[in-house]
Structure 1
């Protein structure tokens, strides 16, 4: 599938590394659900929109390929990846290491930010907007990692969430997958509000185990 990517409006400002900037823009669009699995990334269109050389774009594609966010097919081009069961297992292996640790030891607890995401998710749930629920779920887990105060961990989580968004597309016909986690996320916030971090970390680990199992079952693993 080749889609019209439109103009890239993300501010480039004075980013020191153009290749990294290009990869960040594409990764963020994938994480936002704007580029679904199977989307063909046109070199010509993207190079023109982002005002970069094709060589720079290819270097960015290589970075994203290493992250399993895009896949290059000889003589066909570069496409947004469609994660398989092995990718799901790796995503959740990483998430189980990062997220409970951030909940348990993170120094920058921002309950206001977490509660705003929960409100967004509940609003989407009331409207039956699956895509918005998925986006809110992404934002919630991004906010958990932000508790670590580590820029490097947040950048790592950004890569994981970009791939996670691609996994969510496999569940687009299963709205209940996202619906149940709206209140589970709210429960985690309540535990954090009451200072019960260890319990929240344990609950989160079980939550991630259950989500992984459901995804793998759906993929027929």
Structure 2
């Protein structure tokens, strides 16, 4: 076959492939220059999420774009893509002509977040009898981390350990999708913890209850564990909402 005809057939074949795949392969090819940037942006977004979980980034705090860009050694566009991801996750908020700030979770958000927690975490408790030993061990590891931090008076770290504990409860389901949903839910909720005037008064009772939940789950007392978890979540939600009401009254006064 003449070379020209062979090339023509190959081109026609590629055109046929594009027609069959609906053109989405061509779209991927056109966007591939952005893939490396998007991957880096996702990593930067992940680092910022961890600062929120650790209690280091607080509601209302402005994110200094120049300093962050230099610290992460990324382009301005990459940093802004990371910001965009976190705005979509309701962790950050953009204020026109002012910049990007850590978002303040609303009382309505708190109610909705606890609704999601009840669904995901209670399912984790029910799934515990079939969970792998290493999944159960994560519960004890998270509680122990919180207990060590409490002994040293590092209450923000106790808050972070509490988040890890509840991630471990959800992980008993054994679903990556559940893990992702609960991680995002708990990261957003972590911002609400800052409404509490005293981190110690808020976290100390729940640290003891985390230990109780771990013992109930690991000893196979699943119904008792689910009852305790539901009461636990009800109490925590009510306490946070009361803190919001007190803060609003103080502001109004």
Distance of aligned partners of 1:127 and 1:49 in 2 relative to their CA distance in 1, 3 Å threshold: closer
- What is the distance in 1 between the residues matched to 2:127 and 2:45? 30
What is the CA–CA distance in structure 2 between the aligned matches of 1:38 and 1:188, rounded to whole Å? 34
Counterpart CA distance in 1 for 2:137 and 2:37 is 30
1:96-127, CA deviations, whole angstroms, 9 ceiling, x for partnerless residues?
11111111125335333222222222233334
Of 100-109 and 190-199, more deviation after overlay is shown by 100-109
Measure how far apart 1:174 and its partner are: 4.8
Name which of structure 1's ranges 83-92 and 155-164 shifts more when overlaid on structure 2.
155-164
| Cα distance, 1:155 vs structure 2 | 2.1
| Aligned residues of 2:54 and 2:156 also touching (Cα < 8 A) | no
Q: What SS class does the counterpart of residue 219 from structure 1 fall into?
A: helix
Residues 1:35 and 2:60 are matched in the alignment: no
SS at match of 1:148: coil
> Does the 8 Å CA contact 1:108/1:148 hold for their aligned counterparts?
no
Q: Deviations over 1:176-209 (max 9, x none)?
A: 2211111111111111121122321222112111
> For residues 13-28 of structure 1, what are the structure 2 equivalents within 5 Å?
17-28=39-50
Please tell me whether the aligned partners of residues 60 and 103 of structure 2 are also in contact (alpha carbons under 8 angstroms): yes
Q: Give, in whole Å, the separation in 1 of the partners of 2:158 and 2:110.
A: 20
Would the alpha carbon gap of residues 45 and 174 (structure 1) be closer, same or farther in structure 2, given more than 3 Å must change?
Answer: closer
Corresponding residue for residue 230 of structure 2: 205
CA contact (8 A) 2:55 2:159 kept: no
Cα RMSD (Å): 2.1
TM-score by length of 2: 0.75
TM-score by length of 1: 0.85
Alpha-carbon distance in 2 for matches of 1:127, 1:55: 41
Map of 1:7 onto structure 2: none
Matched residue SS, 1:40 = coil
Gaps of 5+ in 1: 1-13
In 2: Cα distance, 1:26 partner to 1:130 partner: 20
Q: Please state how far the C-alpha of 1:59 moved relative to its aligned partner.
A: 2.1
Gaps of 5+ in 2: 1-35, 249-253
CA contact (8 A) 1:130 1:172 kept: no
Confirm whether residue 116 of structure 1 aligns to residue 141 of structure 2. Answer: yes
How far residue 73 of structure 1 moved from its aligned partner, in angstroms, is 0.5
- List aligned pairs for 1:76-155, cutoff 5 A: 76-106=98-128, 107-109=131-133, 110-155=135-180
- 3-state SS of the aligned residue for 1:49? helix
Paired residues of 1:108 and 1:146 also in contact (CA < 8 A): no
Q: Give the Cα separation in 2 of the matches to 1:132 and 1:51.
A: 27
Structure with larger Rg: 2
Change (3 A) 1:18 1:157: same
Give the corresponding residue for 1:6: none
Give the structure, 1 or 2, with the largest relative contact order (CA under 8 Å, sep 6 or more): 1
